[in-house]
Each structure stands twice: as C-alpha cells, then as structure tokens.
C-alpha cells in the first residue's frame, strides 16, 4: 500500500484517483504530478514500484502544500478574517454561511437543529 503525505492510498484505484485522497490535491493537480513524475495515470496504486512512489512523493513535497500544512493555513486565514472583523470572519464566528447563501430557509447544517420560538396566542375571533 502506498503511503504519501501521511495518507494511505486505496490499492484498487488508479493512481490518478488515488492521489485525490490527499487533502489539497484535485484532479488537475494529480494529473500534473503524474506527468512530472512520468507515471501512467491508468496504472493502479497496487502496481506502483517503490521508486515511482518516491518520485510522486518528491514532486508533491517540492511543489504542493498538502494535508496538515494546508489545513493549518486555511485555519489561520479564517482566524485572520475573524480578528480583522471582516464580514466573512463574523459569519464564521456565528457559524453561518459565509458566501452569500440564504438563511431564511436552508443552511440547517450550519445553524443546527431548529429552535422553535413561542409566538403570541391568537385572540379569539368575534362572530
């Protein structure tokens, strides 16, 4: 089993899709990595040699920020937005959508379980 950037790549998948299990690598960056390492994208992870795995690992460490370093950078960016008092930072602080989505309906994932507010009782209608 190939272990790159602290992630065990699935054995039965093609290398192109296996690399996408690493946080920070998508389809295009996985293609670029395989092109620079001169490895066929249709090859399975289980068929990779140690030299090929080492080549992929060296390309990733030289040119990409992945996994823990990338996660910490994202968290620092969010913290900076909160400290500055930017609108996006305030939305993160209140656990609300930060990119303009509506909240009157939807956004239940961010807002949590519904909290029903008790309203006024209706006055009896006169007939």
Q: Can you tell me the mean pLDDT for 71-80? A: 95
Longest dimension (CA), the chain: 89
- Six token digits for residue 42: 């249709």
Q: Is residue 7 within a helix (H) or strand (E), and if so which, with residue range?
A: strand 7-8
Tell how far CA 67 is from the center of its chain: 10
Q: Coil, strand, or helix at residue 109? A: helix
Look at residue 127 and tell me whether its pLDDT is greater than 80. no
Look at residue 79 and tell me whether its pLDDT is greater than 80. yes
Q: Coil, strand, or helix at residue 3? A: strand
Global pTM value: 0.75
* Dihedral sign, Cα of residue 24, residue 91, residue 76, residue 109: negative
Residues of the chain with pLDDT > 90: what percent? Answer: 67
CATH class in words for 3-64: mainly alpha
User: So what's the pLDDT on residue 115?
Assistant: 87
Question: pLDDT, tens digit, for every residue of 46-60?
Answer: 999 999 999 999 999
User: So what's the pLDDT on residue 52?
Assistant: 92
Q: Coil, strand, or helix at residue 5? A: coil
Locate the domains of the chain by residue range. Answer: 3-64, 66-99
Confidence band for 1, pLDDT divided at 50, 70 and 90: low
User: So what's the pLDDT on residue 59?
Assistant: 93
User: So what's the pLDDT on residue 90?
Assistant: 94
């Amino acid at each position: 089993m190939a272990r790159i950037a602290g992630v065990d790549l699935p054995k039965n998948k093609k290398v192109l899709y296996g690399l996408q299990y690493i946080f920070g690598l998508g389809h295009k960056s996985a293609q670029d990595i395989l092109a620079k390492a001169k490895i066929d994208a249709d090859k399975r992870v289980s068929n990779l040699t140690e030299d090929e795995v080492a080549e992929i690992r060296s390309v990733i460490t030289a040119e990409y920020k992945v996994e823990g370093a990338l996660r910490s950078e994202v968290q620092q960016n969010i913290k900076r937005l909160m400290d500055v008092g930017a609108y996006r930072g305030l939305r993160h602080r209140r656990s609300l959508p930060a990119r303009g989505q509506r909240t009157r309906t939807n956004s239940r994932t961010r807002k949590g379980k519904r909290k029903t507010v008790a309203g006024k009782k209706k006055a009896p209608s006169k007939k």
